[in-house]
Amino acid sequence: MKSDSQILTKIFTPLVIITIVSAILLSLYITNQTKKNIISNSTVYALNTIKQYKMLRQYYTKYVIEKIPPSMNIDYIHKNLNNTLPLPATMLKDLSVLLGQDKNGTQINLYSSYPFPSSENRKLDDFSKRALIKFKDNKQKDIIEITTRNNKKVLRVATPDYMTQNTCVNCHNTREDSPKKDWKLGDIRGILEVIIPINKELELAQSLNIQIIILILFLVNMILLVLYFYFKKNILKPYKHLYDERKKFY
């Protein structure tokens, strides 16, 4: 008969290997699912933010811009001017600057293939250029990507910005400094983009995943250890005793 150690090794070695492989697969699964949840939640937040900004601009256009008297001006140069209100797009840009000062680092960008003079020198990165190209044919709804900015992971969500109000169409078609003067309702004026830092969330999720895996490994090892001693005492030992007694008769 084989020794106790040989029998136990044959039985528990596969269990240990299965445990290690299962832990690795579980770690990969938890990491992947956690990342998906972070991206999904951040995407929903980004899309809701864009929706709120569009609603705010529509309200501002309908209940402020359309009601101003002829003596008031509307321009992208408005600060410190008592008789000038910001353009709807300028209002969004000003708010996005304020939002960008928040500690969570969320940013909102508004850009177009037909920028006004105040923005024509703005340099767009690869993501923004690709978004303009993809939305040009009006075949894509949203663009969602994870990129790296300043050595940190960020989620970028871009959506097309349509001409939805006659006031906006008339303004863009009649302003002297407008780069395009044949706009129609439903045209894509530009792109609204939200940038959300997710580096901290990913790091926290990774740390939590490691803790979960360690806990699982600890619990599984404890179970294996209990099974080891239980098998050795209650199964292997009686079996060996029976085997030895049987040999006496032969």
pLDDT at position 195, please? 92
Residue 236 clears pLDDT 60, i.e. is over it: yes
pLDDT at position 1, please? 46
Q: Are 56 and 67 in contact (CB under 8 A)?
A: no
Residue 195 — φ and ψ, nearest 5°? Answer: -115, 120
The 3-state DSSP class for residue 79 equals coil
Tell me the pLDDT tens digit for each residue of 11-43. Answer: 667 777 887 787 778 878 888 888 889 899 999
Element (H, E) at 154: strand 152-162
Q: Which residue has the higher pLDDT, 12 or 44?
A: 44
Reported confidence tier of residue 238, pLDDT bands at 50, 70, 90: low
225 is written with which tokens? Answer: 């250890």
pLDDT at position 141, please? 81
pLDDT at position 185, please? 92
- Provide the residue ranges of all domains of the chain, joining segments of one domain with +: 29-203
Mean pLDDT score of the chain: 83
Tell me the pLDDT tens digit for each residue of 50-97. Answer: 999 999 999 999 899 888 888 888 888 888 888 899 988 888 888 888
CB-CB neighbours of 203 under 10 Å: 11
Does 29-203 carry CATH code 3.40.50.920?
A: no
Computed on alpha carbons and rounded to an integer, the radius of gyration of the chain in Å comes to 32
Q: How far is CA 221 from CA 14, 18, 152, 213, 239, in A?
A: 13, 12, 37, 12, 25
pLDDT at position 154, please? 92
Residue 241 clears pLDDT 70, i.e. is over it: no
